[in-house]
Structure 1
Amino acid sequence: MVNIQNKARVVIIGGGIIGCSVAYHLTRLGWKDVVLLERKQLTSGTTWHAAGLIAQLRATANMTRLAKYSQELYGTLEEETGLSTGFKRVGAITVALTEDRKEEIFRQAAMARAFGVEIEEISPAEVGERYPHVNLDGVKAGVYLPKDGQGDPGNIALSLARGAQQRGAKIHSQVKVTGVSRRGSRVTGVQWHAQDGDTGEIACDMIVNCAGMWARDVGKMAGVNVPLHACEHYYIVTDNVPDLGHLPVLRVPDEYAYYKEDAGKILLGMFEPKAKPWGMDGIPDSFEFDQLPEDFDHFEPILEKAINRMPLLAKTGIHTFFNGPESFTPDDAYHLGLAPGMDNVWVAAGFNSVGIQSAGGAGMALAQWMEDGARPFDLGDVDIARMQPFQGNKTYLYHRSTETLGLLYADHYPFRQMATARGIRRSPFHAHLDAQGAVFGEFSGWERANWFADPGQDREYRYSWKRPNWFGNAAAEHGAIRTGVGMYDMSSFGKLRVEGPDTQAFLNSICGADMSVAIGKIVYTQFLNPRGGIEADLTITRLTETAYLVVTPAATRLADEVWMRRHVGDHMVVITDVTAGEGVLAVMGPKSRDLLKAVSPDDFSNQAHPFGTAREIEIGMGLARAHRVSYVGELGWEIYVSTDMAAHVFEALWNAGQDFGLKLCGLHMMDSCRIEKGFRHFGHDITCEDHVLEAGLGFAVKTEKGDFIGRDAVLRKRESGLARRMLQFRLTDPEPLLFHNEPILRDGKIVGHLSSGAYGHHIGGAIGLGYVPCVGEAAKDLLASSYEIDVAGTRVAAQASMRPFYDPEGTRLRS
């Protein structure tokens, strides 16, 4: 009979490396009554057979911060716990076999410098010096990270577990969680069944779902959505290789392979372009340290390339052929955080084959989040709230997982679109846009027109780090918005109706702006956290005395709804997602007023319909609501129309628009226009870490209205002064492209990185936004410096500005 307490502060479900890391970090923060339950033995799901690669560099600054923390932690664990982790800083090399891959890894190297990661671009000859066994045929270049490492995954997890136990955590193996008790939006306890037949229940204040491949099923017990699916993952281990020597990790992503020296042997692993999902009918209850059946035919194409790349493999026997399952999420980012819909269910799962290098940092971040009740820094890339409800669908997950495993080593081109599990969410204008040549991208499940092909032009993305095949199309669409009239679909943006007798007071308590406005007024605002960081960036329209419409980015609709629900308190309001109820067409450009007058008898003059207001209109033979706002910096309206009349309204506008040169536009155009105007993009330019004043959005905050979340932080910042400012940069050379994360150099020294970038077709050069430190500096001193942007290792001179390069006075919006 197991001796399990009947009450705990937190129950962690799952004893892989992430569950052990969460327990370790909670106890390090002083938490007591931490209980971890593992259905079999610690590490017996995926952790035990992981390759144990521990890299520092990830795609964003904060993900890199977590990966760096992991390798630093693993370097000290053995001293703390007495259990060897096998951690060694052996270094790592990634090689490029194509010019596109070379640009990718050189851009990554530039990004690494901005993030403080030690990295070096190296020639093919230098690759050979550091890895003498590799065939250099076709190698264009490489990058070398000297502090990357490798370790024993199982022992790292066990060392974390021991550290947690030394501080009082209780860890129970062979105990399966069979159910979760709930009351409203809170979990109250978990039921368990031990291998010896004993059963029981632990009452708890909260749970953490660290169940790995089983996390989706555990999530269902707790009433939360945890989308992930297991796939088969392959590697081989050779026999002993004489005189192999100590080698860095070698990655050859163009051949989908990685190589790790392992006690005198070579471990060859692969991330093939089309993966094999596993466990469609559920994972057997007996699964423990299990291997899956060999599929040599599936592995063989990778092995053939590997034998050419590493000739010693041709004369070395295979000691182990391994096939084991790992779980993958729909977007290749793991799940972390407080689950939407529940107040005390936390998630740390779905680590997409980067669990060992991520678990230390992810456990630290989640534990701090649980301790403080707020994210320690921006975790938007992995926040579980980014997942849409439909993404828990098993059929969707099956199809998407065939692609996501391979994306780890695919070319990470800008604007790369998912190829699988498409066509799920379509706006009411989808068929009309398709008929006119739309090329769709997928975002949060929505099919969105990103650009429009010309007659006879292939309707497909041809990916490149240089100017893509649609560059001219986006430029023409951009030109139509700036000089004529363009129309694009914004239906995917989230729409949340908030209504009730306390709606005005409620919104004033969570918004920085003053929501005590007239009916029909549109307010640009942010939800702030107590640090003054930006939790949401949105517009809110007062529809009636008691009802408002909150419009959010598509990716954050659920997160923004959750934020509101968690702060409702005693306010009498009802929050309803009405996103699918209305289609939205943006009609923008100097001729937009003329077009609308041609299809509507209503008055669109400045006097009748000023900027920042919304009103009901007749349009064609239907009805709609016209919002005079713009994310592209031009005169224009967003037309909200119920889905039953959406097709008719599109046809009315399109047919009338032929007399005005109306051009259909995609969302690539919207991004390039907004960056010319200096408009911020939530998730890139503004996050929960970015103070609203330092983001240059102080105009949207009205502290005089009374108390609201973040008010004190705004007042403190106004008194103490800004530590950094967001600047807009324009490259003086019109040729290079900017995307994001390129280093910013001020007077020759790296001071930050671009938060976003795009090409300014009207201005004639690439434009970026980014923060620059400015403690104690006046604005004129900041702008007196010389600036450069590091583009794949080449420094390009840049002009800096605090005001938008395009229409800095904002006169075109109000024309």
Structure 2
Amino acid sequence: MGSPRVVIIGAGIVGANLADELAARGWHNVTVLDQGPLPLTGGSTSHAPGLVFQTNSSKTMTALASYTVEKFLSLESDGQWCFNQVGGLEVATTEQRLADLYRKQGWATSWGVDAAVIDAQECAKLHPLLDRDRILGGLYVPSDGLAKAPRVVTELIRRTEAVGIEFRGSTKVIGIEHSGGRVTGVATDNGVVPADIVVSCGGFWGPALGELVGMRVPLLPLAHQYAKTDQIPELVGRNTEVAEAGLPILRHQDQDLYYREHVDRLGIGSYAHRPMPAALDELPDGEITADAMPSMLAFTDEDFAPAWEQAKLLLPCLQTAKVESGFNGIFSFTPDGGPLIGESPDIAGFWIAEAVWVTHSAGVARAVAQLLIDGRSEVALQGCDVHRFEEVQLDPDYVSETSQQNFVEVYDILHPLQPKESPRNLRVSPFHRRQTELGAVFLETAGWERPHWFEANACLLDELPPEWQPPARDEWSAMFHSPIAAAEAWRTRTAVAMYDMTPLKRLEISGPGALDLLERTTTGKMDKSVGSVTYTLALDNAGGVRSDITVARLSEDTFQVGANGNIDLDYFRRLAPADGTVAVRDITGGTCCIGLWGPRARDVVSALSRDDFSNDAFKYFRAKQVRIGGVPVTAMRLSYVGELGWELYTTAENGLRLWDALWAEGQRYGVIAAGRAAFNSLRLEKGYRSWGTDMTTEHNPFEAGLGFAVRAQKDGYIGHDALAGVSDDTVTRRLVCLAVDDKTSTVLGSEPVYLDGSPAGYVTSAAFGHTVGAPIAYAWLPASAAPGTGVEIEYFGRRIPATVVAEPLVDPEMSKIRA
């Protein structure tokens, strides 16, 4: 059988790469459409400055960029380069930025990119135009460089056309045809192109293309300034017209600027201006040339003036130069800065690959080709999946505000816990009023306000036993943290605490086909008695962990699923049969949840209920419909902090009443409200994984320490065949627990881990373990790193000794949780 008919909308750097990646895998029945002329179509690709800096806090984004470098290096067009590997240099003019460059060097090392922090003298040797006295040091990545995007596209068009792929320029898409919920073709101003699969690679036109099938694409086109100087005497004779550049590409992030050579001139890109949203219906129309295209708006000198003054300070050669030309080029921004990859939830076969810059273009194209042909990408894509956004985050005003803020912060030093300043209070649990009264310090995730600690518990610090007193933290790890978390962890372990678990995604999967759907998509036994709760995994077809979920069977054909986010909702809806025998509903907003955990938890609920909460009547990993304080509650005996207790679910209108009843009765037992900082510490002490952070589709269950969730007697589920022959004994890498030897140095995640002096893995989650009195971290390391193995974690350029330890660190016998 031949390959399906694929139509790619957009012949820029992403669309051309996608056509090439499909062709390389034997799919040649591909048509690429673009409204502009070929090869210079007038989109962002046509004017992209082409700077490829690979290092990113995201492992995925770094992998996508590194593949782009690898691929573009292998290309040439008519004997001319497509990638000029001049290296990348980021300079620091403040102590804060210099420290951040050490953090970024750690990311690069974690993700396998060679990088070094160098002193000011070395920076000036690499880039002699710099004022050495103005900088403190820099981050140098030898493999970074310049991509010649139009040249890449030209070459990819040539080689894909040679195998039968068709490119049609000056062809405007006016509609997407579909029947029975599947795409059938693309309507253009030159007729209909039949299609089985359509991929929108339209860049900042993506939202308009998505509208053709009713798909909301959370992307904002924003203009970004790029200027070119007149001739710089210091550059005369350094570069040939062919090479264009020989100095490293340069970033001056303290002033939101970047630089590259254009033979004997300098190009300067600036984010140091107000956000300038671009309305698609107001873009210039007319003949597209190298100097005039819809994505190039008029240069606004007044916006560039402050940046020009800063550029002259960093590069003194500009003191006698002037800006010869410039434009405000349109690029795509999203609420979280990530690309948008995925299939329409309503029209099968309609895919998007949008908000992708040149840096990640080939990597994204390969990932999408793998999704289409193999059903999975070898690179984990949860941070790129368009379905990662919650409904409230798809609102146009939300997309506009957060994308503009993302533009403003694009070069800022951002802490991993740093919340948005605005918009806030979009989603609050029914307990929010009480939490505010208790002095909750809220951070934000997916629009939810989530307490991280409570100022009301500050008084407990005076009661903390000496062994629970937390050490002082360094300035970075102390940000968005409070020692109050230690008191909250202590009270959870010794008395009882209430945790707001409302923001965790809850799905209801029901109907006569619900059991079959869950059996087909999970690794565990689902056909258990009503009231059973099962921790299980959803795998992809290569055995990678696409999610870990908790499934409670509430009736014969009703299951409540504790999921990891909107991606899971999309997944189960997509796999649900079309015959209506399964309903998949997001019930998060209409419900709420309190995690009541600690050795006195049973005392609290027993006093408020006529139901039997004894161990014999209500065992671990069981669910019951009960009443607590007169409130109907679905109680599940689960605990992600490793203590006796329950997750107590009720409807939103009953939530405050439930909270107040538990709070009032709990006073007899020392109850407190506790936040996510304590929760994260306690869950790591118990060895509980967090999907998307500790494991992804890049890891199989046995590597991740989750082999226990794979039922050996079960087959027929997605990913089963890929696990044949895989076991704890066969894996070559593992997620392991590390204890920091000095018992004080706290790391935060993504740091490289050294084994025998060489980089061997990276930290996923980390926290101070308040119960064990030491910082702990989970990290991916070779399977040979058994308990007792000494390693080093690199933190801001400093090596911190740590030891691989057996897990879990707290209550390995499970006696507390099963009490």
TM-score for both structures, normalised by structure 1:
0.92
Q: SS state of the match for residue 466, structure 1?
A: helix
The equivalent residue for 1:397 is: 399
The equivalent residue for 2:166 is: 170
Contact 1:340 1:562 in 2 (8 A): no
Deviations 1:701-758 (A, max 9, x none): 2121443222233342139722222210011123322222222222333221122222
Structure 1: how far apart are the matches of 2:735 and 2:608?
41
Structure 2: how far apart are the matches of 1:559 and 1:456?
38
CA shift, 1:237, in A, is: 1.1
The equivalent residue for 1:4 is: none
Moved more, 560-569 or 804-813: 560-569
Contact 2:336 2:403 in 1 (8 A): no
The equivalent residue for 2:71 is: 73
Amino acid at match of 1:435: E
CA shift, 1:59, in A, is: 2.2
Structure 1: how far apart are the matches of 2:788 and 2:452?
38
The equivalent residue for 1:196 is: none
Aligned counterpart for 1:299 among listed residues 282, 295, 304: 304
Contact 1:153 1:356 in 2 (8 A): yes
User: In 2 relative to 1, CA 551–284 (structure 1 residues): closer, same or farther, beyond 3 Å?
Assistant: farther
Structure 2: how far apart are the matches of 1:466 and 1:161?
49
CA shift, 1:695, in A, is: 1.2
Deviations 1:40-71 (A, max 9, x none): 23441211222210122222333222211111
Q: Are 2:651 and 1:653 equivalent residues in the alignment?
A: no
CA shift, 1:293, in A, is: 3.6
The equivalent residue for 1:344 is: 349
The equivalent residue for 2:21 is: 25
User: In 2 relative to 1, CA 813–503 (structure 1 residues): closer, same or farther, beyond 3 Å?
Assistant: same
The equivalent residue for 1:326 is: 331
Contact 2:738 2:804 in 1 (8 A): yes
Structure 2: how far apart are the matches of 1:741 and 1:654?
38
Contact 2:685 2:769 in 1 (8 A): yes
Contact 1:188 1:203 in 2 (8 A): yes
Deviations 1:624-666 (A, max 9, x none): 1111101111112111011111121122222333333322222
CA shift, 1:253, in A, is: 1.2
Q: Are 2:417 and 1:415 equivalent residues in the alignment?
A: yes
CA shift, 1:316, in A, is: 0.5
CA shift, 1:450, in A, is: 2.6
User: In 2 relative to 1, CA 408–167 (structure 1 residues): closer, same or farther, beyond 3 Å?
Assistant: farther
The equivalent residue for 2:48 is: 50
The equivalent residue for 2:792 is: 788
Q: SS state of the match for residue 488, structure 2?
A: helix
Structure 2: how far apart are the matches of 1:341 and 1:736?
49
CA shift, 1:674, in A, is: 1.1
CA shift, 1:201, in A, is: 0.9
CA shift, 1:564, in A, is: 5.2
Contact 1:496 1:561 in 2 (8 A): no
Amino acid at match of 2:514: T
Deviations 1:497-545 (A, max 9, x none): 1112232233122211111211111110111223221111110001011
TM-score for both structures, normalised by structure 2:
0.91
Q: SS state of the match for residue 226, structure 2?
A: strand
Amino acid at match of 2:627: E
CA shift, 1:8, in A, is: 7.2
CA shift, 1:599, in A, is: 3.1
Identical-pair percentage: 33
The equivalent residue for 2:264 is: 264
Deviations 1:171-208 (A, max 9, x none): 11111111111224311111101xxxxx3111211100
Contact 2:253 2:412 in 1 (8 A): yes
Alignment of 1:99-498 (within 5 A): 99-137=95-133, 139-193=135-189, 199-244=190-235, 245=238, 246-272=246-272, 275-279=275-279, 283=283, 289-290=293-294, 291-351=296-356, 355-454=357-456, 465-468=476-479, 470-498=481-509
Amino acid at match of 1:65: A
Contact 1:233 1:326 in 2 (8 A): yes
Q: SS state of the match for residue 101, structure 1?
A: helix
CA shift, 1:368, in A, is: 1.9
Q: SS state of the match for residue 703, structure 1?
A: coil
Moved more, 431-440 or 608-617: 431-440
Q: SS state of the match for residue 766, structure 2?
A: strand
Structure 1: how far apart are the matches of 2:524 and 2:440?
37
User: In 2 relative to 1, CA 283–689 (structure 1 residues): closer, same or farther, beyond 3 Å?
Assistant: same
Structure 1: how far apart are the matches of 2:501 and 2:432?
11
The equivalent residue for 1:666 is: 675
Amino acid at match of 1:812: K
Amino acid at match of 2:501: M
Structure 1: how far apart are the matches of 2:673 and 2:166?
61
Amino acid at match of 2:587: V
Moved more, 756-765 or 715-724: 715-724
Structure 2: how far apart are the matches of 1:237 and 1:372?
44
User: In 2 relative to 1, CA 308–530 (structure 1 residues): closer, same or farther, beyond 3 Å?
Assistant: same
Structure 1: how far apart are the matches of 2:82 and 2:544?
40
Structure 1: how far apart are the matches of 2:486 and 2:792?
25
Deviations 1:403-428 (A, max 9, x none): 11133201032212122333322222
Contact 2:457 2:672 in 1 (8 A): no
Tell me, which stretches of 5 or more residues in structure 2 are unaligned? 239-245, 460-472
Deviations 1:557-604 (A, max 9, x none): 343442453264779322222121211111112222222234333332
Alignment of 1:571-586 (within 5 A): 572-586=581-595
Structure 2: how far apart are the matches of 1:347 and 1:506?
27
Alignment of 1:518-667 (within 5 A): 518-553=529-564, 556-563=565-572, 565-566=574-575, 568=577, 572-667=581-676
Structure 1: how far apart are the matches of 2:249 and 2:746?
31
Contact 2:234 2:317 in 1 (8 A): no
Tell me, which stretches of 5 or more residues in structure 1 are unaligned? 1-6, 194-198
Q: SS state of the match for residue 476, structure 2?
A: coil
Aligned counterpart for 1:760 among listed residues 758, 761, 769: 769
User: In 2 relative to 1, CA 737–299 (structure 1 residues): closer, same or farther, beyond 3 Å?
Assistant: farther
Q: SS state of the match for residue 268, structure 1?
A: strand
Structure 2: how far apart are the matches of 1:615 and 1:420?
40
Structure 2: how far apart are the matches of 1:455 and 1:754?
30
Q: SS state of the match for residue 492, structure 2?
A: helix
Deviations 1:135-189 (A, max 9, x none): 2445332111112111322222222222222222111111111111122431111
Contact 1:440 1:449 in 2 (8 A): yes
User: In 2 relative to 1, CA 239–13 (structure 1 residues): closer, same or farther, beyond 3 Å?
Assistant: same
Moved more, 606-615 or 302-311: 302-311
Structure 2: how far apart are the matches of 1:307 and 1:456?
50
Contact 2:185 2:195 in 1 (8 A): yes
Contact 1:495 1:557 in 2 (8 A): no
Structure 2: how far apart are the matches of 1:483 and 1:342?
53
Contact 2:297 2:328 in 1 (8 A): yes
Q: Are 2:59 and 1:61 equivalent residues in the alignment?
A: yes
